[in-house]
Structure 1
Amino acid sequence: MNLGINWKEIFTISMILFAVIDIVGSIPIIVGLRSKMGHIQSEKATIVAAVIMIAFLFVGEEILKLIGIDANSFAVAGSFVLFFLALEMILGIHLYKEDNPSTASIVPIAFPLIAGAGTMTTILSLRAAYDKINIIIAIVINVVVVYGVLKSSGKIERLLGVNGLGVIRKIFGVILLAIAVKLFAANVKGLFI
């Protein structure tokens, strides 16, 4: 029994999600959060992100419709979140304030860093083109990679050093800024139609 599993689709979807989630580019943010808060709950963040993504695959569009938000508005809002995260990375400023600075898991790691608006918008787009089972498998593959990066962020930090992390943070900040602008440009027209 095949269940509609297509490994080529799974590979394609995995690559798309990997690019959108950009966990490698988020390493400087993760390291920064770990140094600010002392501990990152990797397991909790990974499980919550997976649940959010899979739930959004099934009910995302309906939830947005229920509260009167279209996918374009959601994507534009997501572009602003990405924009401000990118500014933090590039300029070295801190816009995000944590109410409980003892741990970081659900906010901001599970949402919006891993399962953010860009990821949600991508999942909605993928749903129209691919079987849900293949999307779920690709989400699980990405979540395993994310977990590995979260767990080894300390080793990655030691390997790259402060200067290496600073350079990577700025480079990926510019890339994230470009993704935010692209997401905004692609969806802002839909708000006025």
Structure 2
Amino acid sequence: MTLDYLTSALVTLLVTLDPPGLAPIFLSLTRGMSDAERRQVAVRACIIAFGIMAFFGLAGDVVLKALGVSLPAFRIAGGLLLFWISFEMVFERRNERKAQTAQIAITQDHIRNVAAFPLAIPLMAGPGALTAMMLLAGRAEGSWLQFGALAAITALVILSCLVVFLLATPIARLLGVTGNVVLTRLLGVILAALAVQFVIDGVRAVIRAG
């Protein structure tokens, strides 16, 4: 096991997950939740994301091939899902839907749903991160020692995401209500651009393959 492999894995996963970039999106997705509820979302999302990434590192390529799904198709699908979320963020559709069930407030089901989608997947364990995991696992060349090292590095990167999420709550207090509303709209536009980029990358890959 070389230092180059470990360094490459760490840098690749940090870049693809981008923990600091997830913080404001986490704030937007958990707006209206208490500190305890945000912690639940953060922990649950990180656990789910680690599980998905570990699974794709071990068997992702085999599963996708068995289902007849290509990586470009996976990337396009992730982009379309992200675009839907960004549309709701920009036009406040999420808050309209929440208002219809205001008496229920934030339920455990809602916390689980937000943690799983879109936070864990596709924002954390998205097409880029899952593709990176499969490529890094392929470079391990069947060495369980390198697989273990990759799992440890993945856990470290996910842990950094958890720390960022937990620090995001004090930032929300500083922004206030108006700041959070403006941030949600702005991030919705940025997320829409990211989603379109996912789709473009997927289409380009399909064209090249054809």
TM-score, with length taken from structure 2: 0.72
- 1:111 counterpart (121, 124, 127): 121
Q: Match of 1:188, as an amino acid?
A: V
Following superposition, the deviation at residue 72 of structure 1 comes to 0.9
Q: Which moved more, 1:20-29 or 1:62-71?
A: 20-29
For the 8 Å contact 2:46–2:120, the answer to whether it is kept is: yes
Q: 1:44 to 1:80 in 2, by over 3 A?
A: same
3-state secondary structure, aligned to 1:141 = helix
Distance 1:21 1:76 in 2: 24
Q: Does 1:123 align with 2:133?
A: yes
For the 8 Å contact 1:82–1:177, the answer to whether it is kept is: yes
Q: Match of 1:107, as an amino acid?
A: A
- Identity across aligned pairs (percent)? 24
Distance 2:193 2:138 in 1: 25
1:111-149 C-alpha deviation (Å, 9 max, x unpaired)? 333223343234335556687566434422321122123
3-state secondary structure, aligned to 1:32 = coil
Match of residue 182 from structure 1 = 197
1:133-170 C-alpha deviation (Å, 9 max, x unpaired)? 66434422321122123334432211221222223222
- 2:175 counterpart (160, 179, 184): 160
Q: Match of 2:125, as an amino acid?
A: A
Which has the larger helix fraction? 2
Q: 1:12 to 1:154 in 2, by over 3 A?
A: closer
For the 8 Å contact 2:79–2:195, the answer to whether it is kept is: yes
Distance 1:129 1:168 in 2: 39
For the 8 Å contact 1:56–1:120, the answer to whether it is kept is: yes
Q: Which structure has the bigger radius of gyration?
A: 2
Equivalent pairs, count: 188
Give 5+ residue unaligned stretches, structure 1.
none
Give 5+ residue unaligned stretches, structure 2.
99-103, 141-145
3-state secondary structure, aligned to 2:23 = coil
Query: Aligned Cα RMSD in Å?
Result: 3.2
Question: How do residues 26-175 of structure 1 correspond to structure 2 at under 5 angstroms?
Answer: 26-32=25-31, 34=33, 39-40=37-38, 41=40, 42-94=42-94, 102-103=107-108, 104-105=111-112, 106-108=115-117, 109-127=119-137, 135-175=150-190
Distance 2:69 2:37 in 1: 35
1:41-71 C-alpha deviation (Å, 9 max, x unpaired)? 2333222211111111121111111111111
Q: 1:145 to 1:160 in 2, by over 3 A?
A: farther
